[in-house]
Amino acid sequence: MAEVTNPNLEYSDAQIVTMEGVEHIRRRPGMYIGRLGDGRNPGDGIYVLLKEIIDNSIDEYAMGFGKQIQVTIADEQVRVRDFGRGIPLDSVIKAVSILNTGGKFDDKAFKKSVGLNGVGTKAVNALSADFYVCSFRDGESSWARFERGVLVDSGKAPSKEKNGTLVTFKPDDLMFGEYHYNMDYVETMAKNYSYLKKGLTVVLNGVPYKSEHGLLDLVNENLSETPLYPPIHLVGEDIEVVLTHGNAYGENISSFVNGQNTRDGGTHLAAYREAIAKTLKEFFKKNYDPQDCRQGVVGAISIQIQEPTFEAQTKTKLGSTYMWEKQEKDEHGAIHNSTGPTIRNFVNEFISKNLDNYLRMHMDIVPVIEEKIKSSQQEREEISGIQKKTREKNKRANVYNRKLRDCRFHYNDKVTEKTEADIERSSIFITEGDSASGTITKVRNANNQAVFSLRGKPINCYKESRKKVAENEELNLLISALGVEDDLDNLRYNNIIVATDADDDGMHIRMLVLTFFMKYYPDLIRRGHVHILQTPLFRVRNKKATRYCYSTDEKEKAVRDLKTGIEITRFKGLGEISSNEFVDFIGENMRLDNVKLADEESIADIMAFYMGENTIDRQNFIRENLRSEEELEDVNI
């Protein structure tokens, strides 16, 4: 019999609520911008707000209006000015405040835009403490000012300004907390816009960014090593592709749709990867494994399609199947659905034809590419055999079950459908030692959080061969737990969280684990899957309250707030934190540092500096940054 928690709870017309306008956006921001965040991660909401405004200006340029976009960020206040057509003057207020209102619901005014759902600018307005918009059209202007989505003033006036739109906004600290724009992320955004729209100048805080060669400039400027051959640049109607190979592991491929950086890929990136392997196999007339054809690939793809469908409002993964989809009326008034070519076929046909032609016209690079494929094949087959033997040995010894405490997200047969939210939350903690592993295992959310326990320090992958790494029990089991033996797309957890102590040993283990990912699975880092768990350094409490502090500043604030009868505890290891305390640190609000790797950063150089021989440069670096034990008490390690 079902339990009735409150039989007297009233359910009447009074409980039926309609949230008007921007109220729903403020109540459920995740539906519109993905997540809030404080600016430390490039996927945080403050960058989505900036992107939504710039996207509108980009759409104007794509339609042939305005060659410059000016972006200024100072004191967290954002200003974006374009020189497009400007918003129709009588529609300025509703265009930025009324949901599902906009000019992009058909393909007449905007043929291949990014924002199509009439939400983007409204979300910026709703989630900003102050929002101002002004449209300039043919000697007239119309403006409106909002506070947290509520209109406070508006008007019209003659103007001598050039046509276009000006938007200023300041993200609401009530929503985002103490946020800060990381200008490195914003600069990357500005550069990407210039690469994708040849002829467009994006001026960021007075610095102009303009590209003459599109995606070729992007790849060339971001190369972290000398490629095996000059990048191949192929340009067609609605598609642009760049391709080369390097000696690093993995694939480093940027993807874009209508100027939007789809960092999580989608149907166009899948088609690009498939097309490369298919074309090379057909060109060499050999059944090479697709993995070997793509090993070490560095490249980019950009396509233009009508009315793209993204898998989330943040538009980081393309879900569209067709280049375009329409409903059309015939001569009798009947409505028929029609579609263009599939994205898969469009990309495959373009690359197959043009890459094949390019290779036949540049025969000098053909043996270089085939040697790279053969080299990858030989290493993969050798490593695959070693890993198989190691896994069989581990299964016989039942080691695997002792090291991985999986989550119900994977092993519960009753979970037949996994929502986007389930996938987003799925995590695996990589810990060291029985104490830390036991604590996390005890308090984790067993539905979506797994724990993998290392035994001591893993090997230094920088100094060891790939064969030696494959024979290593610890790392082999970790690869199996992650599910990435054959393809990174089979990754079993969205978040890989390195959870080690904040002492010397813990830091060393953290570096060894990150070295493993950087050398052999750099794409896991580039795709934003690898994180470091922050745990509190201090506990400040008195008889009335307890505060957990992650830095000295937080500790000092807690001391000021709690005032009297204070007890301060300094945590130096995960095992020192009791289970009932630790549950708060790996829940919904856990603090994670995303491990970042810029495209232009050389993985080989980074690993050589930190994990290679003890050079003079590293000794000088240590001396310059060396701190005493007392100083370490006063920093956020």
What would the DSSP string read from start to end of 598-633? -TTS-HHHHHHHHHSS--HHHHHHHHHH---HHHHT
Of 138-152, 154-168, 263-277, 421-435, the range with the lowest mean pLDDT is 421-435
CB 439, CB 445: distance < 8 Å? no
Quote the DSSP letter at residue 574: G
Burial of 570 (0-12, 13-18, 19+ CB in 10 A): exposed
Is the pLDDT assigned to residue 628 strictly greater than 60?
no
Q: Classify 64 as helix, strand or coil.
A: coil
The kind and range of the H/E element at 524 are: helix 522-526
HSE-up (13 A, CA, CB side) for residue 563: 2
CB 58, CB 186: distance < 8 Å? no
Of 158-167, 315-324, 348-357, 523-532, the range with the lowest mean pLDDT is 315-324
CB atoms within 10 A of CB 117: 14
Is the pLDDT assigned to residue 609 strictly greater than 50?
yes
- What are residue 318's DSSP bridge partners? 266, 310
CB 169, CB 49: distance < 8 Å? yes
- CA-nearest of 43, 109, 63 to 313 is 43
Which distant-in-sequence residues (6+ apart) come within 8 Å of 518 by Cβ? 525, 597, 603, 606, 607
Burial of 125 (0-12, 13-18, 19+ CB in 10 A): buried
Rg of the chain taking only CA atoms, in angstroms: 27
Which segment, 300-314, 344-358, 584-598, is predicted with the most confidence on average?
344-358
- CA-nearest of 148, 245, 185 to 39 is 185
Which segment, 45-49, 61-65, 205-209, 564-568, is predicted with the most confidence on average?
205-209
Q: How confident is the model at residue 598 (pLDDT cuts 50, 70, 90)?
A: low
Q: Classify 326 as helix, strand or coil.
A: strand
% of the chain beyond a pLDDT of 70: 81
Is the pLDDT assigned to residue 413 strictly greater than 70?
no
- What's phi and psi for 531, nearest 5 deg? -135, 165
**pLDDT of res. 330:** 67
pTM for this one?
A: 0.71
- CA-nearest of 580, 572, 576, 497 to 533 is 497
Of 48-57, 267-276, 434-443, 448-457, the range with the lowest mean pLDDT is 434-443
- Which CATH number describes the domain made up of 23-209? 3.30.565.10
Quote the DSSP letter at residue 231: P
Is the pLDDT assigned to residue 397 strictly greater than 50?
no
| Chain centroid, CA 290 distance in Å | 25
Note the pLDDT tens digit of each residue in 422-432.
Answer: 777 889 999 88
* CA–CA distance, 537 with 6 (Å, rounded to integer): 43
Is the pLDDT assigned to residue 433 strictly greater than 90?
no
215-326+339-376 has CATH 3.30.230.10 classification = yes
% of the chain beyond a pLDDT of 90: 28
Average pLDDT for residues 352-367, to the nearest whole number? Answer: 94
**pLDDT of res. 116:** 40
**pLDDT of res. 360:** 95
Average pLDDT for residues 521-527, to the nearest whole number? Answer: 84
Q: How confident is the model at residue 108 (pLDDT cuts 50, 70, 90)?
A: very low
Q: How confident is the model at residue 614 (pLDDT cuts 50, 70, 90)?
A: low
Is the pLDDT assigned to residue 89 strictly greater than 80?
yes
Which distant-in-sequence residues (6+ apart) come within 8 Å of 345 by Cβ? none
Average pLDDT for residues 369-393, to the nearest whole number? Answer: 81
Note the pLDDT tens digit of each residue in 502-511.
Answer: 667 778 888 8
The helices-and-strands tally (H runs, E runs) of the chain is 25, 24
* CA–CA distance, 525 with 520 (Å, rounded to integer): 11
What's the one-letter identity of residue 501? D
Average pLDDT for residues 172-199, to the nearest whole number? Answer: 89
Q: Where are the domains of the chain?
A: 23-209, 215-326+339-376, 398-535+575-632, 538-570
Q: Kindly report the average pLDDT of the chain as a whole number.
A: 81
Average pLDDT for residues 214-230, to the nearest whole number? Answer: 88
Which distant-in-sequence residues (6+ apart) come within 8 Å of 54 by Cβ? 69, 71, 80, 189, 193
Fold of the domain built from segment(s) 398-535+575-632: Rossmann fold (3.40.50)
Is the pLDDT assigned to residue 321 strictly greater than 80?
yes
The kind and range of the H/E element at 350 are: helix 343-361
Q: How confident is the model at residue 487 (pLDDT cuts 50, 70, 90)?
A: confident
DSSP string, 396-454: HHTHHHHHEE--HHHH-TT-----HHHHHH-EEEEEESHHHHHHHHHHS-TTTEEEEEE
Note the pLDDT tens digit of each residue in 468-479.
Answer: 777 777 888 888
Q: Classify 158 as helix, strand or coil.
A: strand
* CA–CA distance, 444 with 587 (Å, rounded to integer): 8
**pLDDT of res. 14:** 52
CB 124, CB 131: distance < 8 Å? yes
- What are residue 261's DSSP bridge partners? 256
